[in-house]
Structure 1
């Protein structure tokens, strides 16, 4: 599985043309976005899309996000482009916001889990945009890891998770947002927040007003958005979120024991400790990398100090809760 290092700001055009040719030929290419690394395939090619599901071990009820270069490319895939979509795109695209709208028949049902809507995002990363431009087609790309595993924020994470199953990995360095995009559904009468992510809810609701929340889907029922499976983003060992002040009482159990906390020094009895920043954006950028590190160290149990309850930390709390779910 080739790994090619590319400049995240000015990727080599010849490299991007070669990677785009693989996409157009129906192969899988892993590439960086500003959120996490994606496992990309030509979105209009059902055979290529099937490879994504097979490679990840992803259930067919979990739809994919389709990456596009701009609003015009997005509009070509949907039945209607409401004014609110324009307002959101004007403010947050390119960037970590995914918009769900009713799809045109040209979008394969396999991409959307058979639903009448499609999730669209214009990424901000230079490599992702260069790949889209060179390929000339929309690219469906979930995170480039096995289903329910820790999302990758570096090329090394992709290689560790997928092994030889990606035809090519473009290494554009570590991602700068570090958690997945926020997803908002505009396909119905009322805007709905489907997934917390890289765009804080407060900033989103400055444009949309207060967003509705979806009902929890039944097991096996198609999800309107990726990232709604109960257990997700999880390391191999057990992950436990522990309230501040109770870490010392949680140190028993399987070993090696890892700890992610705000403290510079861990309490006695911790085998591996990673100190995290108190800023939610920086914490989000580093979270998956920290989980990957402790996973690679073989931690059978990982304790994570609970993060603050403020809205700015909502996406982090969501990821930790899903990582800890059994």
Structure 2
């Protein structure tokens, strides 16, 4: 069930209803500044199992736990390094997740059996108010079927999960549009596990050295962070990146091959055989906010293939490049 909620001043009675669903072990989808999350009581293993069942999510993929403030996050950590304190002060509430050693009592179901836990304090007014009202930590991955495109509207959640969710809070489109940056603090040097809207340059300005991840685990090995599966954020139709050189020829060949070919393009194209064509914003923040909604539109249009212009190489585009890389077919 979708319930509209004022994104600037969430209604207390709606929040109280959603908080009660969480307390009794149910699932609530709610907006964050990044994407819509599928929330459950993080300290209730049965409730957390409901997230995995609803999403069809593999058990080796850990969840992010959301709290109302940094104090709530620290209460779930066995250690809180100085780097964590600095990053939390600089970026929380906001689209940054910190991976730290977990405190005893944090369910293995949340962390995929790992000795660490991923923590975030979201900035969206609805998410923040819900966490305050519920008074408990909420495990919340993106509110979609596993590996599919993340939702940035309540309707995306409804189409993807349907009646698997007890309550969907509709707070409008998510302003950031891609998942949070994830940084591991379990070793001496902070390590970037997943790029997002908080860039590695911004992180380095706060804590100095930030390492880039080594090769990601394959198969069914537990991931140190969500969002590290090879195929993720993927639309139903095969997605292909256009070459930087020979773009026009690649578009022409795709149009001539037949079928309905959609495209997400940074530059215009004059070929009536392509469609739908979505002109994407040229700035990274605008592109990120539009990306998942555009992919959902392609799914709804029933295209046979999706072509995407390559995005720039700058650090601010790293999160977008990561999402597109994992969505590519083949």
Q: Is TM > 0.5 for Structure 1 vs Structure 2? A: yes
Partner Cα distance (1:71, 1:36) in 2 = 20
Question: Once superposed, what is the RMSD of the aligned Cα atoms?
Answer: 1.2
**1:152-301 matched pairs, under 5 angstroms:** 152-215=151-214, 216-244=216-244, 246-251=246-251, 252=254, 253=257, 255-301=259-305
Aligned to 2:71: 72
Q: Is residue 96–residue 180 contact of structure 2 (8 Å, CA) maintained in 1?
A: yes
Aligned to 2:139: 140
SS in 2 for 1:110: helix
- Aligned pair partner of 1:309 in 310, 313, 320: 313
Moved more, 131-140 or 236-245: 236-245
**1:81-92 matched pairs, under 5 angstroms:** 81-92=80-91
Q: Is residue 266–residue 273 contact of structure 1 (8 Å, CA) maintained in 2?
A: no
Unmatched 5+ stretches in structure 2: none
**Per-residue deviation at 1:250?**
2.7
Partner Cα distance (2:248, 2:159) in 1 = 32
Partner Cα distance (1:311, 1:187) in 2 = 24
Partner Cα distance (1:58, 1:203) in 2 = 31
SS in 1 for 2:229: coil
Q: Is residue 154–residue 168 contact of structure 2 (8 Å, CA) maintained in 1?
A: yes
Partner Cα distance (2:243, 2:192) in 1 = 27
What is the TM-score when the length of structure 2 is the normalising length?
Answer: 0.96
Unmatched 5+ stretches in structure 1: none
Q: Does 1:17 align with 2:21?
A: no
Deviation digits for residues 222-245 of structure 1 (CA, Å, limit 9, x no counterpart): 000000000000000100011245
Partner Cα distance (1:178, 1:139) in 2 = 20
Partner Cα distance (1:133, 1:255) in 2 = 50
Partner Cα distance (1:281, 1:158) in 2 = 22
Cα pair distance change 1:266/1:292, threshold 3 Å: farther
**Per-residue deviation at 1:78?**
0.7
Deviation digits for residues 91-127 of structure 1 (CA, Å, limit 9, x no counterpart): 1000000000000111000100000000000000000
**Per-residue deviation at 1:281?**
0.6
Q: Is residue 243–residue 250 contact of structure 2 (8 Å, CA) maintained in 1?
A: no
Aligned residues: 325
Partner Cα distance (2:128, 2:208) in 1 = 30
